[in-house]
Structure 1
Amino acid sequence: MNSRNHERETDSRCVCKLVYSRRRKKTEIMKEVIEIDPEVDFANQEGEIDSRHVDAIGTVDSIFPFNSKSIPRRPRTKCKRKSKGNEALSRSKEKLNSQVFDNYLVKIWKSFSEDRKMSFAYLDSLWFSLYRNPSSKDKVLSWINKERIFTKAYVFVPIVCWGHWNLLIFCHFGENLRSVTESRCMLLLDSLEMANPRRLEPEIRRFVRDIYKAGDRPETKHLISQIPLLVPKVPQQKDGTECGNFVLYFIKLFLELAPDKFSMEGYPYFMKKDWFTFEELDRFCESLTH
């Protein structure tokens, strides 16, 4: 590659990445998707992360184990809506950073009754990424321990790695060791199967093992390693920036439809290729902005 077509920056805090610009003629430097400010004092955090210091962007334009240009692009439908007597084109969905994602997630969460939410919990969208950093790993585990996830039937764990959003769901992690229902499992929902969601499995299993250990649970390492990780065939994105919106819609629909007791016999339940349409997703995204 001609050195005149790109510039490189050196920064000891992050990894430089080359990504093509919109015109695909020049390249620009893109910093690591998860960039942690060295001035952040995690020891003084009270279970919350200041989005001014840490941010994540959900887009497949960052480094991936495949060519992101091969992702099909779906044409934008010109859905019109009335606004103060005028018709305007609906805003195109944009890539979501962690702060916007969390704001939308809170809005979704508040739309459900307290009775319905009693069996559910969710973790901060950056906790998994911060767990991967040795300097913040122990602090993240202490935050998770305070969430009492073993008392919940389902726990949503949004994951953003390599610029792509996935949804991990812990099912019945507090199930009694003597239970024979085989309902304890993990679900990994990915709107971009070509990214190979199974690539996350080793880190997910280390994450889960450390969560059980931090919670002083009686489960052995062998038992924890046997928890199934299921990857259902869910609707797939056809645009490089939609993964965050898909994860939010997964959460909303799962909150609506999840059974009281998850069973392997009923799997995959509603989580299928035709779970929802793009039109339904578009309406959902539009509702988040109002």
Structure 2
Amino acid sequence: MSFISQIGNDRYFVENSWQSEPKSEDKTTYFLKLRRWWKGIDIFEKAYVLLPVHAETHWSLVIICMPAKEDQTGPIILHLDSLKFHSSRLIFNVISRFLKEEWNYLNENVSSAECPLQETVWKNFPRKIEKKAIEVPQQENDYDCGLFVLYYMQRFIQEAPERLQKKDLSMFGKRWFRPEEPSQLRGEIRRLLQKCREAEPKTYATELCVEAEPNDVTQPMSSEHLQETVDAAAAKDHALIECSENAVYCV
């Protein structure tokens, strides 16, 4: 979608999704595996780290707000949930612990002169972490949580300051946007999928040929037949995504 292009800069780092750690795995080993997600990226230098969270068939969003190097404040972890379904306390505990693990890891590999935050903040990092469950517009059904997470991300990226401070939390609230607005992303996603499919019609014509009977494939294809195949591919693509009032679904 259009807002994705704004993420590829030095202000944001977006991880695919966050899931709870497996209980059977050693926590240190799990952290080292998890760390590969941001290999080569110093997350403490980013203004924001966005983590979509998935658990129990529900999506919510965590935003880690890092202070500027000259600030005396620590990072703020925000949790945005369109159903208030996920436990903010549990999520804060997990995210805080992994931030502390990353802090410990960098402390062993980075000199004090290279630390990404103000020196006093960096030395006392575990005690400087703040957490805030954010009041946000709530979904009015039980299936739009993913769209709400995308819309939270879009609006935040559009409106957030260079570095978020406590005083900026007033940007959020139950009236941040109308609850029906995230559902409009469904149409945008549908148009994007159709555009991607229409970009390579020959690919879909080939797919249809593969699906045809062997006797049909062995026969030379006339220009009329080719056009019919391309038209059929386009019709097939159009039918793949249907938009109802409530959901996007495959038919």
Which residue of the partner structure matches residue 124 of structure 1? Answer: 16
| Local SS of the residue matching 1:208 | helix
**Alpha-carbon deviations, 1:208-230, whole Å to 9, x = none?**
2112223336634x532331111
Q: Specify which of 204, 215, 223 is matched with residue 125 of structure 2.
A: 223
Over 3 Å counting, the alpha-carbon distance change for 1:124 and 1:147 in structure 2 is: farther
Structure 1: which 5+ residue stretches go unaligned? 1-103
Amino acid aligned to 1:254 = F
Which residue of the partner structure matches residue 204 of structure 1? Answer: 95
Task: Quote how far apart the aligned CAs of 1:206 are.
Answer: 1.2
**Alpha-carbon deviations, 1:48-70, whole Å to 9, x = none?**
xxxxxxxxxxxxxxxxxxxxxxx
Which residue of the partner structure matches residue 144 of structure 1? Answer: 38
Over 3 Å counting, the alpha-carbon distance change for 1:113 and 1:224 in structure 2 is: closer
Q: TM-score, normalised by structure 1?
A: 0.53
Task: Quote how far apart the aligned CAs of 1:131 are.
Answer: 7.5
Matches within 5 A, 1:20-35: none
Structure with more helix by fraction: 2
Q: Which one has a bigger Cα radius of gyration?
A: 2
Over 3 Å counting, the alpha-carbon distance change for 1:164 and 1:193 in structure 2 is: same
**Alpha-carbon deviations, 1:66-125, whole Å to 9, x = none?**
xxxxxxxxxxxxxxxxxxxxxxxxxxxxxxxxxxxxxx6xx6412x386xx331111121
Q: Residue 17 of structure 2 contacts residue 51 of structure 2 at CA under 8 Å; is this kept in 1?
A: yes
Whole-angstrom CA distance in 2 between matches of 1:109 and 1:259: 18
**Alpha-carbon deviations, 1:255-289, whole Å to 9, x = none?**
100011212123232x1101111332121222122
2:240 counterpart of 1:240: no
Task: Quote how far apart the aligned CAs of 1:195 are.
Answer: 4.2
Whole-angstrom CA distance in 2 between matches of 1:200 and 1:235: 20
- Matched positions, count: 176
Task: Quote how far apart the aligned CAs of 1:253 are.
Answer: 0.7
Task: Quote how far apart the aligned CAs of 1:254 are.
Answer: 0.7
Whole-angstrom CA distance in 2 between matches of 1:149 and 1:131: 23
Which residue of the partner structure matches residue 109 of structure 1? Answer: 4
Identity fraction in percent: 25
Whole-angstrom CA distance in 2 between matches of 1:254 and 1:130: 27
Which residue of the partner structure matches residue 161 of structure 2? Answer: 259
Task: Quote how far apart the aligned CAs of 1:154 are.
Answer: 0.9
Amino acid aligned to 2:134 = P
| Local SS of the residue matching 2:91 | helix
Over 3 Å counting, the alpha-carbon distance change for 1:261 and 1:131 in structure 2 is: farther
Structure 2: which 5+ residue stretches go unaligned? 113-121, 192-251
Task: Quote how far apart the aligned CAs of 1:194 are.
Answer: 4.8
